Chains A and B, each alone.
Chain A
Amino acid sequence: MSDQPQAPLQKTPLHALHISLGARMVPFAGYDMPVQYPTGIVAEHLHTRSQAGLFDVSHMGQARLEGAGAAVALERLVPGDIQAVKRDRMRYTLLTNANGGILDDLMVTNFGDHLHLVVNAACKVDDIVHMKRELEPAVRLTPLPDRALLALQGPAAATVLARLAPGATAMPFMTAGTHSLAGISCLISRSGYTGEDGYEISFPANAAEHLAKRLLAEPEVKPIGLGARDTLRLEAGLCLYGHDIDTATTPVEADLGFAVGKRRRGGGGFLGADVILRQLREGTARKRVGILPEGRAPARDGTEIRDPSGAPIGKITSGGFGPSVDRPIAMGYVASAQASVGTAVSLLVRGTPRPARIVALPFVPHRYYRG
């Protein structure tokens, strides 16, 4: 335990609603957040995959980047082709450092007169400092702490939104727009962190409870906590910052090479470009992979991965139980020579080596709406 005095936990605008819904609250990234509601993580996870789940992700950082050349400016900090992101489209990208490490992963949406950024809660303070220092005053970065963010995820998400914001349902995956939802003007994107079709909805925090209750009143929608958010994203093979990616991992090692835009591969011009572009050409010593334990025992973050001779070849960075696949699943980093799908490995769980193999990600196929 730390002797450091703990800062009081922050609350999202839906804190009281979580309590009234019977959520178990836990500290996460400085916020008091719902890890689960009374039905529990497995039921919440399965409900999201079969119907629709509502997630409060208001703890995440939202910011507005504006000014002439905002996309050009942001490209100095990310390897993505931000200039190619058309109006009402969005892109997943990464803030990198000079060593090619990952400072954060984020979503960038082009709303015409500005770029809307969504960053991780645990990184948002540092991200803002970093971006302001590197980008201002040529362009202006404005944090948006007074905006709430809800994610509505699952196969019934579009059915639900068709009733409340009909204009939003035609948008394909990774596009966005401004729509009225329950009388509130919202920035709605077709995106998420579950592998399912769904939306993320940004709007003024003072309307949070009104809008959340309106969505929860729909028969398909149930509130989902951070516990199921984690199992859903793990089954979908999506990285969790601070576990699967951090400043000690590069986009190439993390198998996020797709986030390095084609145009950027030639030109570089972003922090860590020399390292990242060299790794794209020459490969890396290790690589992020999916790992499927053979038995029923979950292998958690930090578990040592060994080759069949018993030599350590890597570590698990996210591991647990996948409710939809009904078995333990994991991802982690292994030596690139042992990273091919089908490779037999063992996982050292409580001192006992247990058989596992390298598998392709995701564990559950993505079901995005491509239009």
Chain B
Amino acid sequence: MTVKYTKDHEWVRVEGTTAVVGISDYAQTQLGDVVYVELPEVGRKLEQGKEAAVVESVKAASEVYAPISGEVTAVNTELGGEPAKVNADPMGAGWFFKMTIAKPKELDALMDEAQYKTYVEGLG
């Protein structure tokens, strides 16, 4: 399973023809306690880099951008009742939504694990 990262701290994990999307551990640490997640509707067409979801911590609301283009096929409805899963398990139970992969080439330009780690370290 390949996991790729964006500069805006979304992760995207390819599972066959589907991509699972969430926010990184760095992102959830920066946000602090997540209290609300607004997810896209299933069927919505997302464009890479455009707003896909909103994550709200106690302090502020932040936009989550689509890491690639495609159509939303599922959303993590459990975040409605337990948004803190984003903090507890950002790469697992805290996933946001699943989507189709409209342009596989878009994945190639994203960072892999090692590149993202270097990128985050550079943010201080």
Residues of A bordering B, CB below 8 Å: 35-36, 40-42, 227, 231, 296-298, 300, 320-321, 323, 328, 350
Nearest chain A CB to B75 CB, angstrom units:
15
Cβ–Cβ < 8 Å partners of A298 in chain B: 35-36, 56, 61
Q: Are B60 and A296 in contact (CB under 8 A)?
A: no
How far is it, in angstroms, between the C-alpha of A20 and the C-alpha of B49 when the chains are bound?
A: 38
Query: CB-nearest residue of chain B relative to A231?
Result: B58
- B59 beta carbon closer than 8 Å to chain A: yes
- With contacts A40-B33, A296-B35, A350-B54 known, what are 11 further pairs, Cβ within 8 A? A35-B59, A41-B59, A42-B33, A227-B59, A296-B36, A297-B36, A298-B61, A321-B56, A323-B33, A328-B36, A350-B38
Chain A residues near B36 (CB, 8 Å)?
A: 296-298, 321, 328
Residue B32 at the chain A interface, CB threshold 8 Å: yes
Cβ-defined partner of B32 (8 Å) among A227, A300, A350: A227
Contact A323 B60 (CB under 8 A): no
A contact residues around B56 at 8 Å (CB): 297-298, 321
A40 CA to B57 CA, complexed, in Å: 11
Residues on the B chain within 8 Å of A350, using CB? 38, 54
Chain A residues with Cβ below 8 Å from B43 are none
* Closest CB pairs A-B (n = 3): A321-B35, A42-B33, A41-B58
In the complex, B80 has a CB within 8 A of chain A: yes
For B83, the chain A residues whose CB sits under 8 A away are 296
Minimum CB–CB distance from B94 to chain A (whole Å) comes to 15
Interfacial chain A residues near B60, Cβ < 8 Å: 300
Q: Specify which chain B residues have a CB less than 8 angstroms from the CB of A321 in the assembled complex.
A: 35-36, 56, 58
Q: Which chain B residues lie closer than 8 Å to A40 at the CB level? A: 32-33
Binary flags per residue of B7-45, CB closer than 8 Å to A gives 1, else 0 = 000000000000000000000000011011010000000
B78 CB, nearest partner CB in chain A, Å: 13
Expressed in whole angstroms, the Cα–Cα distance for A323 and B33 within the complex equals: 10
Q: Which residues of A contact B80 (CB under 8 A)?
A: 296
Least distance between A294 CB and chain B CB atoms (Å): 13
Chain B contact residues, CB within 8 Å of chain A: 32-33, 35-36, 38, 54, 56-61, 80, 83
Contact B38 A320 (CB under 8 A): no
Instruction: Give the Cβ gap from B57 to chain A, nearest Cβ, in Å.
Output: 8
**Minimum Cβ distance to chain B for residue A236 (Å):** 16
Interfacial chain A residues near B32, Cβ < 8 Å: 36, 40-41, 227
Nearest CB in chain B: distance from A273 CB, A: 38
A320 x B58 contact (CB < 8 A): yes
14 pairs, CB–CB < 8 Å, chain A vs chain B: A40-B33, A42-B33, A231-B58, A297-B38, A298-B35, A298-B36, A298-B56, A298-B61, A300-B60, A300-B61, A320-B59, A321-B35, A321-B36, A321-B56
Q: How far is the CB of B109 from chain A (nearest CB, A)?
A: 27
Residues of A within 8 Å of B54, CB to CB, are: 350
Is the pair A41, B33 in contact by a Cβ cutoff of 8 Å? yes
A residues near B58, Cβ cutoff 8 Å? 41-42, 227, 231, 320-321, 323
Q: Which residues of A contact B61 (CB under 8 A)?
A: 298, 300
CA of A320 to CA of B32, assembled, Å? 14
B31: shortest Cβ distance to chain A, in Å? 10
Task: Output the residue of B32, B33, B58, B60 with the most chain A CB within 10 A.
Answer: B58
How close is A235's CB to chain B, nearest CB, in angstroms?
Answer: 12
